Amino acid sequence: MTVLGGPDGHYGIYGGRFVPEALSAALDQLDAQFRNAIVDPSFVEQLAALERDYSGRPNPLTFAAGFSQHCGGARVYLKREDLNHTGSHKINNVLGQALLTVRMGKSRMIAETGAGQHGVATATAAALMGLQCTVYMGEDDTVRQSLNVARMKLLGAEVVPVTIGSRTLKDAINETMRDWVASVEYTHYCLGTVTGPAPFPEVVRYFHSVIGREARGQILAVEGRLPDAVVACVGGGSNAMGLFSGFIDDQGVGLFGFEAGGDGVETGRHASRFATGAPGVLHGARTYVMQDEWGQTLPSHSISAGLDYPGVGPEHAYLHDSGRATYESVNDQEAMDAFALLCRTEGIIPAIETAHGLAGAIRIGKRLGPDGLIVVNLSGRGDKDVATAARWFGMDLGSGLEASEGR
């Protein structure tokens, strides 16, 4: 497997470590423990056992016969990360980092969360391993993802609504970093995506690489060949990087990432970093950033809280510039159309984040035609999004569900 993150954590000109000096020691410690752990058979076995017995891996690769009919006849397979414990791919990374936290002798994990999936996964692993847990979440996101807030609290985590800035994922990361600077001695920052200062992009990618490894074996077993394209939504980009990592050396496999187009890239209300951003530094890494002419971060916008982020993982920036991967935008309307289509054709309610990848699969399928073979990462399930979807589709839920969604 190609590993671009060298010891200094750069991917071409991207990545690196732009942090207050106070965090240098903790990042060095994480780097050393990570490298030590992944060659330690007992760590590898511990993680594998958790993935098997706790998360429920390997999860299936499901042929989506009905959905495929809407994809230009291309055969579309779904990598079922939605079937993991906690309902998304996020648990893969969190179990690995929780084991590292224990290994470093730290007693507390903190995390940022957008859609709440990473927060829920972190709260879950913390409960399992007896660690304290605090999750920072933009106040706007605590409202649109109130179900996940309740889940985190049930799991014993403290949820801190972030009330500054744009009140979304970007500001939650700022607050988590601020907590970490002050608590780093006993706290691990369980970063939820493939960005942030080195070694986080490499660590998170490593723990998600199980997605691509399994998917590659499964598609070869069932179809006898590699897919023409692998497809995923890209917020920070962890589910995409996990899937891509299994195919990055297979030059015949196209890597396609779909970022949130919000109301449409032309409206300015979106989270399309590659379409409109420029290289810059955000949250510890050099990458594509939505920013103004003075380097101030611009607010992002998406119906999906998990994709509503103005930066992106630095390895994606590298893959973009090198041409190895292709990134396109999917707006709210296209994503919700794909969301509805998967519900009706496959009996699977996807996360709205994931629906952006599904819309991408429809697009790629139509380009490939009937001979095409696609694997799309079904990165999460949509229970958390039921209220948002119901509003979008103008459904009358009655007062019962409104109350249960806590608004």
Partner 1 sequence: MSATLAEIFSTARTQGRAALIGYLPAGFPTARGCVQLMAAMVAGGCDIIEVGLPYSDPLMDGAAIQQAVGQALEAGTTPDVVLDVVRELSELNVTSVVMSYWNPIERYGVQRFAERLRAAGGQGVITPDLTPEEAGDWMAATDVTGLSRIFLVAPSSSDLRLAKVSSVSGGWVYAASTMGVTGARTQLGDAAQVLVERTRAYTDLPIAVGVGVSTGDQAADIAKFADGVIVGSAFVKAVLDSPDIEAAVDAVKSLAAELADGVRR
Residues that bind partner 1 (CB under 8 A): 8, 16-26, 28, 164-165, 170, 174, 177-178, 181-185, 278, 280-284, 289, 291, 293-297
Set 55, 81, 90, 300: catalytic member: 90
Tokens representing 315 are 């390895």
**Shortest Cβ 228–partner 1 spacing (Å):** 38
Set 112, 214, 259, 353: catalytic member: 112
- Nearer to partner 1 by Cβ, of 77 and 180: the residue is 180
To the query of whether residue 334 is one of the catalytic residues in this protein, the response is no
**Cβ 133 vs Cβ 156: under 8 Å:** yes
How open is the CA angle 227-370-344, to the nearest 5 degrees?
90
Parallel, antiparallel, or unpaired for β 187-189 and 108-113? parallel
Owner of token pair 């002050």: 182
- Nearer to partner 1 by Cβ, of 35 and 213: the residue is 35
**Shortest Cβ 170–partner 1 spacing (Å):** 7
**Cβ 189 vs Cβ 217: under 8 Å:** no
To the query of whether residue 90 is one of the catalytic residues in this protein, the response is yes
Tokens representing 323 are 């041409």
Beta bridge partners of 282: 285
CA atoms of 182 and 194, how far apart (whole Å): 23
- Nearer to partner 1 by Cβ, of 170 and 273: the residue is 170
**Shortest Cβ 29–partner 1 spacing (Å):** 10
DSSP notation for 213-264: HHHHHHHHHHHSS--SEEEEE-SS-HHHHHHHHTTTT-TTSEEEEEEEEEEE
**Shortest Cβ 12–partner 1 spacing (Å):** 14
Alpha carbon of residue 18 to chain centroid: 22
**Shortest Cβ 367–partner 1 spacing (Å):** 36
- Nearer to partner 1 by Cβ, of 21 and 53: the residue is 21
DSSP notation for 121-171: HHHHHHHHHT-EEEEEEEHHHHHHTHHHHHHHHHTT-EEEEE-STTSSHHH
- Nearer to partner 1 by Cβ, of 156 and 295: the residue is 295
Set 88, 245, 329, 379: catalytic member: 379
The catalytic residues are: 90, 112, 379
